Chain A
């Protein structure tokens, strides 16, 4: 498809021209802004306890109610966005970087290195992310750092595999042959032609993986293995679990709803981005 048929401007903006992409983009912008300006926006401090006001249902003073220590839920949700988003996004960024280096090196050098990488990747690929994450958290110990490392490693196989597949396909394209016959060096071809062309699918799948990572982070937080109190995270806010379903369902309802809407928004925006970049077939081929 020609660029003309897809419209003008950079792809992230073109994605916003689709109705679902626009709604999703608006929600994501809202969440990110809330996380960045958390101290300005939130009505209370995230660790201010008022035991007399524990378990208050949503009201004018506390829009989303209060938790077991009487802390304002909206405030903790806004500050929780900081933890959840930064942990997930940092972890995925590390994972993408390492995955691209590994995948590109494997595809470029081939031979025993490629085979070794493929074996390890296929091995971890077959394990559910939550299981890999639990094993790693068991080794590193609970907390923000442990969660980040666990998420990075859990998704490493995906990006290594995708980058490797992209580079292998691109290596056979005519424009690479043309560059080579014009006398381009190996390094030039790898860094100026292969990697830039492989970037779009990898970045889009990184975005979608960030959504999964938010769920994984929330799950670890729910188990009490994520960010440790009093630092709020979306999963940690729900760690009291079923005990609160009777007493104060809003403590469970709102953080989970925020996670769900954010992840759906990431998926919808990612979908619009895939359409805007016209890379659906390339993503499917590599899966």
Chain B
């Protein structure tokens, strides 16, 4: 198990390097020049050259990448061109907001999704199942930014229950969490349902029935335990998706966070910030995948045995 862990963590290194090259290359390819945005119109070429030297844009690309990477690894994400502050500060300010939002959304979709999935599986092909699956289809096909806007329209504008935007108090979290959570709920419910139904068809369940255990007890004590494994894996894998959803929803509800920072910086051509945001999101995805693999190994004796 330990050697598996070490190997699995080491595998992240090439992945991280590949992702960092892609993210670094944004700086080179992006149209629109940040120096142009900074300089006053009619500035002399000397002023421009000075500015390029100041941000290291005059060096060859591989050198720029090397410098950038070694600084990033040390936690120095550069200076925001527009805000003129260390990027690390901006990230440190917005990351907790995104983590809180994403964490709550994850909790919500797990609890509600597993509950709905069990309900659907226990009532297979009857109306509760059809209702849940219909809801799942809607939940996975509504654009999340639109769902957010509609929830805002109904609950903030018409009913006045929650604030329209911002990040003051728990009330401002309800609608964003719901918006991200509903998409995740649909996914979790679908996976729970399918894996419950598949687990119920296995031989050991037949044996439990033959032993005379009550059907409900079999479903909740034995089938569910068996069925939760894929759910846990999917959830860990989806941490990245939840953060992706957070990007959109933060913009809709004007919440401070990585997503809002990313979209704002994209429109201002503030590359160091864009790079840092994308790097953070990519790292969250990688950690999620890692967590998923480890959890799977911990939960499934067969996987553990194969790895030993």
Contact = CB atoms under 8 A, between A and B. Distances in A.
Given A128-B241, A241-B252, A249-B153, A140 B29 contact: yes
Interface in B236-266: 237, 240-241, 243-245, 247-248, 251-254, 262-263, 266
Given A126-B240, A127-B240, A134 B142 contact: no
A123 B11 CA distance: 11
Contact of A260 (B18, B141, B253, B266): B141
Contacts of A241: 145, 149, 251-252
Contact of B145 (A139, A222, A246, A249): A222
A8 to B, nearest CB: 27
Contacts of A238: 145-146, 149
Contacts, number: 121
Interface in B119-177: 137-138, 141-146, 149-150, 152-153, 156-157, 164-165
A286 B254 CA distance: 39
Contact of A263 (B15, B141, B153, B281): B141
Given A131-B278, A140-B29, A245-B164, A123 B145 contact: no
B238 to A, nearest CB: 9
Given A219-B248, A238-B149, A242-B252, A138 B30 contact: yes
A224 interface: yes
Interface stretch (B20-28, B84-92, B294-302): B20-28
A123 B18 contact: yes
Given A215-B143, A256-B146, A242 B285 contact: no
B266 A267 contact: no
A127 B142 contact: no
A184 interface: no
A277 B179 CA distance: 35
A252 interface: yes
A267 B282 CA distance: 29
A156 interface: no
Interface string A249-287: 100110010011001100110000000000000000000
Contacts of B138: 260, 264
A217 to B, nearest CB: 10
Nearest to B281: A131
B30 A259 contact: no
Given A222-B145, A259-B146, A138 B266 contact: yes
B46 interface: no
